[in-house]
Amino acid sequence: MAAPEKPHDDSSFILEDGSAQLSWLIFADNLVTKGMGGVLPERDGDISGIKNILDLGCGPGGWVLNVAFEYPEVEACGVDISRPMVDYANARAVSQGLTNASFGVMDIRQSLDFADSSFDLINARFLFSSLKPQNWPPLLQECMRLLRPGGVLRLTELERSLTSSPAIEQFWDIYARALYTTGRSFSVDGKHIGIIPQLGRLMHEAGFQHIRNRAHAPDMSAWTPDFEGWRQYTMVIWLLLEPFLIESGATTKEEIERLRQQASTEIWSEGYCGLRLFLTTWGEKP
């Protein structure tokens, strides 16, 4: 049965624009890239034939800037619906002297202002928070148009984390329910995000071939070197998501505050364990 859709602001991203969102995205971008083993870990440094790269929903541009720095022979471009994000990303490119990185304002739910066969690789990470299920097929068809023959579409999405914190698990229950009730979820029951098992099917139906997957499970546990980074990541994202979660009807401000206090205690416990779960799926245009 399809998820009931609750009226909600049709803006692309579920986090509200602002300096807090920008700061968190910059921090999260670097942490996720490190946790996944780099910008293109599945290629093991081999980018032969890759000259032009597009990043969809680029935010403040961290992934594009890292690609441009690591591979100066590549032209890397990012697009995002948010003008402040794009302006910030372009300013970072200038300040870092990365002339091979550029950014533009575009809505990935619409046709993009690039010519056919413009790119060798198109990347996107965590579009589940910007797209509804019905937005995916047209976007993948647009990617097919923009890629040259043999070009690669690369999608990274996530599923709910696994932790030993009852409060954080309850946060995930609320978040999954909010995505479901606002029509942003592939879940059949509102208990998961549901996007990662769908990626291969969506690519196959769009006409991509040689479709492959690579899973990433960075450890967020208390004993790990990156624990503090993931702790901050976790606590800040639940704060930023609060307006969306409340507006969706999935929770109340009082419940969120109670869970936040409980989680802040549990995550500091010596035995705290947690894993983030990401999946990268990629396929080629015939």
pLDDT for position 7: 33
Condensed to tens digits (0 to 9), the pLDDT of residues 159-204 reads 999 999 999 999 999 999 999 999 999 999 999 999 999 999 999 9
Cα separation values, 31 from 27, 38, 133, 250, Å:
6, 10, 27, 28
**Residue 263 maps to a domain:** yes
pLDDT for position 126: 96
pLDDT for position 14: 74
In this prediction, residues 57-67 reach a mean pLDDT of 97
pLDDT for position 10: 44
Cα–Cα distance for residue pair 78/112, rounded to 1 Å: 12
Condensed to tens digits (0 to 9), the pLDDT of residues 140-155 reads 999 999 999 999 999 9
**Residue 174 maps to a domain:** yes
8-22, 27-41, 195-209: which range is least confident on average? Answer: 8-22
pLDDT for position 1: 31
**Residue 7 maps to a domain:** no
Count Cβ atoms within 10 A of the Cβ of residue 42 and give its class: 0-12 exposed, 13-18 middle, 19 or more buried.
middle
pLDDT score of 43 more than 70? yes
pLDDT for position 3: 36
- The residue type of 201 is R
pLDDT for position 114: 98
The sheet carrying 209-216 orders its strands as: 101-105, 75-80, 52-56, 119-125, 147-163, 274-284, 209-216
**Residue 2 maps to a domain:** no
**Residue 117 maps to a domain:** yes
Q: Tell me the Ramachandran region of residue 183: left when phi exceeds 0, alpha when psi lies from -120 to 50, beta otherwise.
A: left
Residue 38 has a CB neighbour count (10 Å cut-off) of 14
**Residue 6 maps to a domain:** no
In this prediction, residues 258-283 reach a mean pLDDT of 97
Cα–Cα distance for residue pair 143/17, rounded to 1 Å: 26
What residues make up the domain containing 251? 19-268+276-284
Confidence of residue 9 (pLDDT cuts 50, 70, 90): very low
Run of H or E including 157:
strand 147-163
Whole-number average pLDDT of the chain:
93
Find out whether 93 and 68 touch, Cβ atoms under 8 Å.
Answer: yes
pLDDT for position 21: 86
**Residue 106 maps to a domain:** yes
**Residue 241 maps to a domain:** yes
Confidence of residue 15 (pLDDT cuts 50, 70, 90): confident
Instruction: Supply the CATH number for residue 260's domain.
Output: 3.40.50.150
Cα separation values, 280 from 42, 76, 134, Å:
9, 19, 21
Condensed to tens digits (0 to 9), the pLDDT of residues 218-236 reads 999 999 999 999 999 999 9
What's the structural domain count of the chain?
1
Find out whether 103 and 93 touch, Cβ atoms under 8 Å.
Answer: yes
Cα–Cα distance for residue pair 132/232, rounded to 1 Å: 28
pLDDT for position 2: 34
